[in-house]
């Protein structure tokens, strides 16, 4: 089910039609790949005035309510407006968030425990799943060169469980951005290369098993 929250701005009729079509088509594509998805998923969308250029104007989060809820924010500041953001990144975001539902990596339903080390793997899986099946990658998720990514991975592995999520997954005080996402993307792809497994096969493994396959 697709719903709209319009406290931050109203979608036009054509925008709503495009969004519904994109969400429902994406779901139809994803279900054969992940047949264990919940039967009913609510996708709720809202307009925000955030700078989301590095993620194509769209971001989201997953909550395991009943039915499960995926909340999507679309920026009206994105070049080309709401319609362009939908064309550029909504399908990519739906793939990412639906992978979280399947993986059990949701705000109210975290099957893997706390810690940036865990977050990097679970977000990396969702990033790679979306990139592999939509053919689209976002600037915010792009790994650094291998030597730096390996260094970041070692940093992440040594962090305490209560390390600041905002700093390591979004904006680090030292200026780095999306360290966890970018490192996770690198580690998942390295594990795929080392093991010969695809992203869905890796998604059946624990974070520790994936770290081992990545060589850490």
Over 80: is that where the pLDDT of 107 sits? no
Instruction: Quote the CA–CA distance of 84 and 64 in Å, as a whole number.
Output: 29
What is the reported pLDDT for 109?
64
- The segment(s) of the chain belonging to CATH 3.30.2010 are 2-106
What is the reported pLDDT for 108?
58
In the predicted model, what is the mean pLDDT of residues 16-42? 96
What is the reported pLDDT for 141?
94
What is the reported pLDDT for 105?
76
Cα→Cα distances 74→34, 40, 149, 180, Å = 25, 22, 30, 22
On average, the pLDDT of the chain sits at 94
Over 90: is that where the pLDDT of 19 sits? yes
In the predicted model, what is the mean pLDDT of residues 114-132? 95
What is the reported pLDDT for 6?
85
Instruction: Quote the CA–CA distance of 170 and 9 in Å, as a whole number.
Output: 25
Q: Are 157 and 216 in contact (CB under 8 A)?
A: yes
80 φ/ψ sector (left φ>0, alpha ψ -120 to 50, else beta):
left
Query: Out of 3.30.200, 2.130.10, 3.30.2010, 3.10.180, which CATH number does the structure's domain 2-106 have?
Result: 3.30.2010
């Amino acid at each position: 089910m697709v719903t709209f929250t319009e406290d931050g701005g109203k979608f036009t009729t054509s925008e709503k039609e495009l969004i519904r079509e994109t969400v429902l088509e994406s779901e139809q594509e994803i279900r054969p790949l992940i047949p264990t998805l919940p039967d009913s998923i609510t996708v709720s969308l809202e307009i925000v005035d955030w700078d989301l250029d590095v993620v194509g104007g769209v971001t989201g989060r997953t909550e395991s309510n009943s039915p499960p809820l995926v909340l999507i924010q679309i920026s009206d500041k994105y070049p080309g407006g709401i319609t362009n953001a939908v064309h550029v990144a909504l399908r990519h975001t739906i793939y990412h968030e639906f992978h979280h539902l399947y993986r059990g990596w949701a705000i109210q339903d975290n099957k893997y425990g706390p810690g940036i080390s865990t977050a990097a793997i679970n977000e990396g899986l969702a990033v790679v799943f979306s990139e592999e099946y939509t053919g689209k990658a976002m600037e915010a998720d792009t790994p650094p060169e291998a030597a730096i990514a390996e260094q970041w991975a070692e940093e992440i592995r040594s962090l305490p469980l209560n390390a600041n999520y905002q700093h390591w997954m979004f904006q680090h005080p030292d200026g780095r951005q999306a360290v966890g996402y970018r490192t996770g993307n690198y580690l998942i792809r390295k594990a795929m290369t080392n093991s010969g497994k695809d992203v869905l096969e890796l998604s059946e493994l624990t974070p520790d098993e994936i770290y081992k396959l990545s060589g850490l």
